[in-house]
Amino acid sequence: MKEEQKQPLFQHHRRRVAAFTRKKFTKPAAYVILLLLSYFFGYLSAPSSNSQYDSPPVGPRIAQNRVTQDTAAADNDHYRFTTQCGAPVPSKLVRQTILDRLFNGTSPYDNFPPAHATTLLRKKKIKGWGSNGAVFENLIRKVQPKTIIEVGTFLGASAIHMAQLASGLGLKTQILCIDDFRGWPGFRDRVRDINMVNGDVLLLYQFMQNVVHENATESVLFVPFSSGSALQQLCEWGVFGDLIEVDAGHDFHSAWSDINRAYKLLRPDGGGVIFGHDYFTSADNKGVRRAVHLFARVHGLRVQIDGQHWVIHSP
């Protein structure tokens, strides 16, 4: 019954009770009747079933507990990178594994460049940031890597530099470059002379042209996919690295994901090194640096600094 229907009815019964009580009763039955009427009127005056008090509100402590549990579950999700890596592929088979898995067993540099792209490529267009820092030679001399994985390649400046350093030290090092070779919105405003064909900015072809120009086709292979999907797939294939450079997305979430996934690919026997660029940027502790320090704290590792690069040694 709605409130507007109850109110007139309630007032009507109150008048009847008042008239009823003005009479003089000598029989006990009258008092019983009066008691029953009082109970009935009390029921009519109670809040309706559709009132705001129909369901008791959740107490502050219960609500807080729910929020805390949900937050804890969400936080834990940020630390879960649960892909199971396959059995390690011997370093001498890494190159052929990539060729078989991605390129039908043949080198992607064969018959390069295709006719339609020949006139669109620069003979050499190598552009990078921090790609020749001392950190590369320091780490390659120390680790003596058989396999290097680079996350974020662009035009191949650091990959080619590492290939030259390894060759100069007499190492037979295979370098795997992970990049979707799409750049980022507006990058052509900063890097001129990169042609576009039907929306394709030709970054992959120019990267390949740079590798060919520097005679590094035997030591530098590419994995042309997003960093997340490529790192996960290498893990499942059992392709590990002795030295891994992370230099793709520079926001916190991208760097956090890349570092966690890449760390799983360090050689299982220990002694590998993961490192990356842009430790000191205008983003300060909101980007790469925040991701690096959080990762090190979670895993009980130490962060070392070499120029603009951060370095973490695996136990």
**CA distance linking residue 263 with residue 235, whole number of Å:** 10
Answer yes or no: is pLDDT of 27 > 70. Answer: no
Supply 116's token pair: 């339609």
Quote the mean pLDDT of the chain: 83
* Short-list 88, 107, 105, 108, CA closest to 241: 88
Q: Which has the higher per-residue pLDDT, 297 or 195?
A: 297
The predicted structure's pLDDT at residue 286:
81
Supply 265's token pair: 């690919």
Q: Which residue has the tokens 């804890």?
A: 72
Confidence of residue 51 (pLDDT cuts 50, 70, 90): very low
pLDDT tens-digit map of 94-116: 999 999 999 999 999 999 999 99
* Short-list 306, 304, 62, 305, CA closest to 314: 304
Supply 186's token pair: 């507006």
* Short-list 295, 245, 290, CA closest to 265: 245
Cβ atoms within 10 A of the Cβ of 264, count? Answer: 18
Count of alpha carbons within 13 Å of 1, Cβ hemisphere only? 13
3-class DSSP state for residue 177? strand
What φ, ψ does residue 247 adopt, rounded to 5°?
-150, 55
Task: Work out whether the CA dihedral 25, 28, 30, 35 comes out positive or negative.
Answer: positive
Average pLDDT over residues 227-244: 97
Lowest average pLDDT, out of 4-18, 23-37, 187-201, goes to: 4-18
At residue 164's C-alpha, the angle toward residues 159 and 165, to 5°, is 95
Tell me, yes or no, if the pTM score tops 0.85: no
